[in-house]
Amino acid sequence: MARTAVDLLAMKAGSERIAMITAYDYPTARLADAAGVDAILVGDTLGMVVLGHDSTVPVTVADIVYHTRAVARGARDALVIGDMPFFSYQMSDEQAMRTAATLIQDGGARAVKLEGGAPVASAVRRIVAAGVPVMGHVGLTPQSVHALGGFKLQARTPASANRLIDDALALEDAGAFAIVLELVPLALAEAVTRRLRIPTIGIGAGPGCDGQIQVLHDLIGLDGDPERGHRPRHAGHYADVGVAIREAIRRYAADVRSGQFPAPDNAFAGSAELRAFLADGAAIRPVNPVS
């Protein structure tokens, strides 16, 4: 039975930890689903880890819809959440509702996520009232990277910690079913988690959250430049898939050049009749017969 936002709420009530991951295409969605994650986020991080941008800012609604469709086809049990990209909800509640409707109707998501606290609470309220589960996201909100001055730890002072708690409470009050806490001090994440009835999903926020999310590519080392060693400190190190892919392609290219590939097993002999015909060079009609 496919997981729902209601199931995630029940998991918090039952003190069950929630495992989430991002995915952006059919095969990784299938793999994540088969691995048993509770929810898959089609995050706007796809702009960075799939499309090669240096932030999530250029990602469009069409990008998210395109990738969410593929993920929705691959995820049978996990809850699929579509991320609302930069400036697809900040202009008005109506714009936010339209974007949420597009991700649900065209993309096949079963919930949406947006960034920000109290300023987006009324949009959250409207989307939830329309029947769409909404996940919030506070702390480091990557769509505001230019205003925040980089991807760095947030809420470092008592005043900003209080603001973050108020933002989380405003989202809960507006009807959000869960909130991502990104790059916040772990004691603050614990305090927010204790205050909320809805689950907190941490990324770089320590073990005190109700669940965790990671960007798949960080977790498995799927980077176009594996030697660069770019792996955020908060991401676990579970595989070196980038190195494995590059090595497989390097060996393939070497085998093509040396004639080792394709091997007889990779080719098709055809029927005995065809082989006999082709062996008789005289029987083969010239490509451009001269009359």
For binding to ligand KIV (CB under 6 A), which residues are involved? 22, 41, 43-45, 83, 137, 180, 182, 203, 213, 215
Residue 69 CB, nearest approach to ligand KIV (Å) = 17
By beta-carbon proximity to ligand KIV, the closer residue of 120 and 203 is 203
Residue 47 CB, nearest approach to ligand KIV (Å) = 8
Catalytic residue among 94, 115, 182, 227: 182
By beta-carbon proximity to ligand KIV, the closer residue of 41 and 161 is 41
Residue 106 CB, nearest approach to ligand KIV (Å) = 19
Residue 8 CB, nearest approach to ligand KIV (Å) = 14
Q: Catalytic: 182?
A: yes
**Other Cβ atoms within 10 Å of 47 Cβ, number:** 24
By beta-carbon proximity to ligand KIV, the closer residue of 147 and 159 is 147
Cβ-closest position to ligand KIV: 43
What distance in Å separates the CA atoms of residue 26 and residue 85, rounded to the nearest whole number?
20
Residue 67 CB, nearest approach to ligand KIV (Å) = 11
By beta-carbon proximity to ligand KIV, the closer residue of 44 and 227 is 44
By beta-carbon proximity to ligand KIV, the closer residue of 11 and 114 is 114
What distance in Å separates the CA atoms of residue 18 and residue 15, rounded to the nearest whole number?
9
Question: What amino acid positions are annotated as catalytic residues?
Answer: 182
